Amino acid sequence: MSEHWIAARARQIDASGIRKVFDLAATMQNPIDLSIGQPDMDVPEPARQACIEAIQSGKNGYTVTQGIGPLRERLLERVAEQLPGQQRDLIITSGTTGGLVLAIMTLVDPGDEVIVFDPYFVMYRHLVVMAGGVPVLVDTYPDFRIDLDRVRAAVTDRTKGIIVNSPANPTGAVASVDELRGLAELAAERELFLLSDEVYRAFCYDTEYATPATWYDQTIVVDGFSKAYSMTGWRLGYAHGPREVIQEMAKLQQFTFVCAPQPVQWAGIAALDVELDQRIDRFRQRRDRLVQALSEYYEIPRADGAFYLFPRAPWGTGTEFVQAAIRNGLLIIPGNVFSSRDTHFRLSYAASEETIERGIEKLIELARRGPR
């Protein structure tokens, strides 16, 4: 009987293919796990100590919905340095994904079209559907570049906004200044919202980071501590943008997440003082090692940032190749989890150097021997 109670919005969403692999990993003996975007480095010591001290000193209750003042002030100072002259409001969220949920539920009405670049982070399409909107996929194959002509052609009278993610999950692509400026100018021209997911902004290996908010002050930016500071399970993110949008997001947070965990918010203040250069250098070295080792066997279109590669499967579909990899103890994600195509696969190098070396050996073996 209970199956008849399930709402249509829930039925439209499949369980994440990433989570299925995550669950599979828990049942395998010593798998080569290159599946999950979870840094293998621990949370920096200052943040851990700050969290412990917050707990021990009784900072364990609710905070105001927008987040504690000291953390908001520190983050607003950073935003003001990055985007001088803009008047932006900011809210602390329960993870970057919490910020995405609040933003899309604030901005998207039933029937609204939202442009999403393919390949995409799995949550974008499902959140738009959950809000009653219609995701419109704009293809970025083969090189994962944003083609502004394709974007313009996708805009209709029903288009409400655009979601952009740079550096990108799953591809590792970093959008160029020209791409982001053009996207910002198009959004301003057509009065569209522009939602920029910048949680991987620290992971730009070959260029300086750029945000479309530089050219369009109405851009809503979501960011967080999960990736740069390894705080994936701590659920600490933030969003900044026009006051009217942020205030509506805060209203929704009152009736959903309530607030981000208070001890973690105090830890976030300490994390902001941690120097990240050595961490980022380690990820850059891993990227370089993988690209050097695999380029002879795999077509790897882009690897500019984040901590993912999105190679083309050397044989079969992406799903067939991944199934073979899993049978051989290698956990990676089929590309159709992130895309309308089933030609590629994602691997994460947010793993130890030992695991990466084992993964390289297995990937070369799989490419050489072909389907079986």
DSSP secondary structure, 46-61, as one string:
HHHHHHHHHHHTT--S
Same domain for 221 and 363:
no
C-alpha distances in Å from residue 238, one per residue of 68, 252, 290: 12, 14, 32
The b/e string for 139-154 (b: 16+ C-beta within 10 A; e otherwise) is ebbeebbbebeebeeb
* Low-confidence residues in the chain, pLDDT < 50: none
54 found inside a domain: no
Same domain for 311 and 292:
yes
CA 321, CA 291: separation in Å to the nearest integer? 19
E runs forming strands in 16-57: 32-33
> What is the chain's length?
372
Q: What is the pLDDT of residue 26?
A: 63
Q: What is the pLDDT of residue 13?
A: 77
Q: How many domains does the chain have?
A: 2
Same domain for 315 and 206:
no
Q: What is the pLDDT of residue 263?
A: 98
**Domain range enclosing 302:** 2-43+276-369
50 found inside a domain: no
Same domain for 222 and 73:
yes
C-alpha distances in Å from residue 124, one per residue of 130, 154, 305, 320, 367: 10, 17, 19, 25, 31
Q: What is the pLDDT of residue 4?
A: 80
Residue ending a domain, among 271, 299, 329, is: 271
Radius of gyration of the chain (CA): 21
96 found inside a domain: yes
Q: What is the pLDDT of residue 127?
A: 96
Q: What is the pLDDT of residue 77?
A: 97
